[in-house]
Chain A
Amino acid sequence: MPRVVVDVMPKPEILDPQGKAVLGALPRLGFVGVTDVRQGKRFELEFAGEITDAVLAEVHEMAETLLSNPVIEYYTVHVDEQAGTGAVTA
């Protein structure tokens, strides 16, 4: 099934308390060397047909109106080429 992925992240200047909590937990678990963590959201949108430019334009519209809040977040869109091929990424 063709799939488009939208990643939404808090803007760099916006405080990310959840990321800070994860950052604080890592050294307690023995993971050292991580200097910052930002936590975002990933949306996987499945489509029945081909991913055309028109579909992608619509995904951008979805991302701007609902999936992200442009006041505090930014988003990126990409087509997941592996979707439906059975390929597994590590």
Chain B
Amino acid sequence: MKVGVVTFPGSLDDVDAQRAVGFGGNEAVALWHGDHDLRGVDAVILPGGFSYGDYLRCGALSRFSPVMTEVIAAAERGMPVLGICNGFQVLCESHLLPGALIRNDHRKFVCRDQRLRIENNRTPWTSAYAEGAEVTIVLKNGEGGFVADEPTLDRLEGEGQVLARYLDDNPNGSLRDIAGITNARGNVVGLMPHPEHAVEALTGAGTDGLGFFTSLEGLVEGAFA
């Protein structure tokens, strides 16, 4: 399986995401924000960082980069797309996911090992987890507060589109402790914590993030190319 990882100007975790894709048994393909094609990949990851310097709003300028036109079209065909942190912000700005991410309610950048519950394991990015699995995945963000209006939040909960929820302390003021969501179809996933930083014991709290990169196993190669 070929998994594209987009590099925007200001992306920070693209190389870590590529590495994690390899750990998951798939081949990482580097994609550039100025690309007009997805190089035949089967899935796409939008990595963390500060694309376009977070100018205007986090993810707002990235959303209009040439590669995003292709990512949006592929996502609408059903291609699995995972946005991590800044990538989650890009997916919300692209309207592939509902809601938005705003500045942390306590106004400080947060960086810590975060406990989460995986609430939806029916997506191509979370199928390796047991439903309700409690995991620890590092979190680092300044604008990670997930907000949406009440009807949208109710719909997300009612349709099982809440992918992961914060356990213990809510680190950023996210409404209903939401750490990650998926679209109605289940192929587009946005997550504020960083599973690509939780794939080897040497450099983190554990390997609980690996599941996001091994889950793609069941997919059919070339299905969305």
Residues of A within 8 A of B (CB): 10, 13-15, 17-18, 20-21, 66-67, 69, 71-72
Q: Known contacts A18-B107, A66-B64, A72-B147; can you find 19 more A-B pairs with CB under 8 A?
A: A14-B102, A15-B145, A15-B147, A15-B173, A17-B102, A17-B103, A17-B104, A17-B105, A17-B106, A17-B107, A20-B107, A21-B107, A69-B60, A71-B92, A71-B98, A71-B99, A71-B147, A72-B100, A72-B102
Q: How many whole Å from A42's CB to the nearest CB in chain B?
A: 13
Q: Which residue of A lies closest to B106 (CB)?
A: A17
B57 interface contact, C-beta 8 A: yes
Q: How many whole Å from A62's CB to the nearest CB in chain B?
A: 12
A residues within 8 A CB of B98?
71
C-alpha gap A10/B143 in the complex (Å): 14
C-alpha gap A10/B173 in the complex (Å): 16
C-alpha gap A72/B146 in the complex (Å): 11
B196 interface contact, C-beta 8 A: no
A residues within 8 A CB of B107?
17-18, 20-21
B residues within 8 A CB of A15?
102, 105, 145, 147, 173
B56 interface contact, C-beta 8 A: yes
C-alpha gap A20/B104 in the complex (Å): 12
